[in-house]
A and B are shown apart, each in its own frame.
Chain A
Amino acid sequence: MSESNESVGMDFLETRSHRWVTAYLPMLLFLFVLLFPFYWMTITAFKPNAELLSREGNPFWVVAPTLDHFRKLLFDTAYPEWLLNTMLVAVIATVVSLFAAVFAAYSIERLRFRGARATGLAIFMAYLIPPSILFIPLAVVLQSFGLFNTRWALVFTYPTFLIPFCTWLLMGYFRTIPYELEECALIDGASRWQILVKIVLPLAVPGLISAGIFAFTLSWNEFIYALTFVSDSEIKTVPVAVVTELVEGDVYHWGPLMAGALLGSLPVALFYSFFVEYYVAGMTGAVKE
Chain B
Amino acid sequence: MAADPLQAGSRTPVAGSVSSTGVGPQEAARRPGALSRFVESRNGLGLLFMLPAAVLLLLFLTYPLGLGVWLGFTDAKIGRAGQFVGLENFEFLLGDAVTRLALFNTLFYTIVASVLKFLLGLWLALLLNKHLPFKTFLRAVVLLPWIVPTALSAIAFWWIYDAQFSIISWVLLKLGLIDRYIDFLGDPWNARFSTIAANVWRGIPFVAISLLAGLQTISPSLYEAAAIDGATAWQRFWNVTLPLLTPIIAVVMTFSVLFTFTDFQLIYVLTRGGPLNATHLMATLSFQRAISGGAMGEGAAIAMAMVPFLLAAILFSYFGLQRRAWQQGGDR
CB distance from A269 to the nearest CB of B (A): 6
Q: Give the residues in chain B near A224, CB-CB below 8 Å.
A: 264-265, 283, 287
CB distance from B315 to the nearest CB of A (A): 12
Q: Give the residues in chain A near B148, CB-CB below 8 Å.
A: 38, 221, 265, 268-269
Q: Are B155 and A242 in touch, CB under 8 angstroms?
A: yes
> Which of B11, B206, B307 is the one whose CB lies under 8 Å from A133?
B307
> Which of B129, B145, B259, B306 is the one whose CB lies under 8 Å from A37?
B145
Residue of B nearest to A111 (CB): B46
Q: With an 8 A cutoff between CB atoms, is B234 at the interface? A: yes
Interchain CA distance A33-B168 in the complex, whole Å: 12
Among the 9-residue stretches A63-71, A122-130, A201-209, the one with 4 or more Cβ atoms under 8 Å from chain B is A122-130
Q: Are A3 and B149 in touch, CB under 8 angstroms?
A: no
Q: With an 8 A cutoff between CB atoms, is A26 at the interface? A: yes
Q: Are B233 and A2 in touch, CB under 8 angstroms?
A: yes
Q: Are A130 and B262 in touch, CB under 8 angstroms?
A: yes
Q: Are B241 and A35 in touch, CB under 8 angstroms?
A: no
Q: Are B241 and A288 in touch, CB under 8 angstroms?
A: no
Binary flags per residue of A32-66, CB closer than 8 Å to B gives 1, else 0:
01110110110010000000110100011000000
Interchain CA distance A153-B16 in the complex, whole Å: 47
Q: Known A107-B45, A242-B152; judge A100-B52 contact (CB<8 A).
A: yes
Q: With an 8 A cutoff between CB atoms, is B50 at the interface? A: yes
Q: With an 8 A cutoff between CB atoms, is A197 at the interface? A: no
Q: Give the residues in chain A near B206, CB-CB below 8 Å.
A: 283
Interchain CA distance A260-B149 in the complex, whole Å: 12
Q: Are B160 and A284 in touch, CB under 8 angstroms?
A: no
- Size class of the contact patch on chain A: 35 or more
- Size class of the contact patch on chain B: 35 or more
Residue of A nearest to B79 (CB): A143
CB distance from A89 to the nearest CB of B (A): 13
Q: With an 8 A cutoff between CB atoms, is A243 at the interface? A: yes
Among the 9-residue stretches B22-30, B61-69, B86-94, the one with 4 or more Cβ atoms under 8 Å from chain A is B61-69
Binary flags per residue of A155-183, CB closer than 8 Å to B gives 1, else 0:
01101100110010000000000010011
Q: Are A30 and B287 in touch, CB under 8 angstroms?
A: no
Q: Are B220 and A7 in touch, CB under 8 angstroms?
A: yes
CB distance from B189 to the nearest CB of A (A): 21
Q: With an 8 A cutoff between CB atoms, is B85 at the interface? A: no
Q: Give the residues in chain A near B14, CB-CB below 8 Å.
A: 187, 189
Interchain CA distance A159-B60 in the complex, whole Å: 9
Binary flags per residue of B123-160, CB closer than 8 Å to A gives 1, else 0:
11011011110001011111111011111110111011
Q: Are A24 and B45 in touch, CB under 8 angstroms?
A: no
> Which of A129, A228, A242 is the one whose CB lies under 8 Å from B287?
A228
Residue of B nearest to A196 (CB): B49
Q: Are B4 and A112 in touch, CB under 8 angstroms?
A: yes
Interchain CA distance A238-B232 in the complex, whole Å: 51
Q: Known A107-B45, A192-B40, A223-B265; judge A138-B52 contact (CB<8 A).
A: no
Residue of A nearest to B283 (CB): A132
Q: Are B130 and A132 in touch, CB under 8 angstroms?
A: no
Q: Are A272 and B8 in touch, CB under 8 angstroms?
A: no
Residue of A nearest to B76 (CB): A140
Q: With an 8 A cutoff between CB atoms, is B56 at the interface? A: yes
CB distance from A282 to the nearest CB of B (A): 11
> Which of A7, A240, A243, A283 is the one whose CB lies under 8 Å from B209?
A283
Q: With an 8 A cutoff between CB atoms, is A119 at the interface? A: yes
CB within 8 Å of A: which of B195-218?
A: 201, 204-206, 209-210, 213, 215, 218
Leading 9 A-B pairs by shortest Cβ distance: A113-B46, A189-B13, A2-B233, A107-B49, A284-B213, A7-B223, A137-B68, A239-B151, A132-B283
Additional A-B contact list (9), CB under 8 Å, known A156-B60, A187-B18: A4-B126, A37-B145, A37-B201, A38-B156, A40-B159, A41-B156, A106-B49, A157-B60, A243-B151
16 A–B contacts from the bound complex (CB under 8 Å):
A40-B156, A106-B49, A111-B42, A111-B45, A130-B310, A132-B263, A133-B306, A134-B65, A136-B68, A137-B64, A160-B56, A186-B17, A188-B13, A254-B159, A261-B155, A279-B147
Chain A interface residues toward B at CB < 8 A: 1-11, 23-24, 26-27, 30-31, 33-35, 37-38, 40-41, 44, 52-53, 55, 59-60, 96, 99-101, 103-104, 106-108, 110-114, 116, 119, 123, 126, 128-141, 156-157, 159-160, 163-164, 167, 179, 182-183, 186-189, 191-192, 217, 220-221, 223-224, 227-228, 238-240, 242-243, 252, 254, 257-258, 260-261, 264-265, 268-269, 272-273, 276, 279-280, 283-284, 287-288
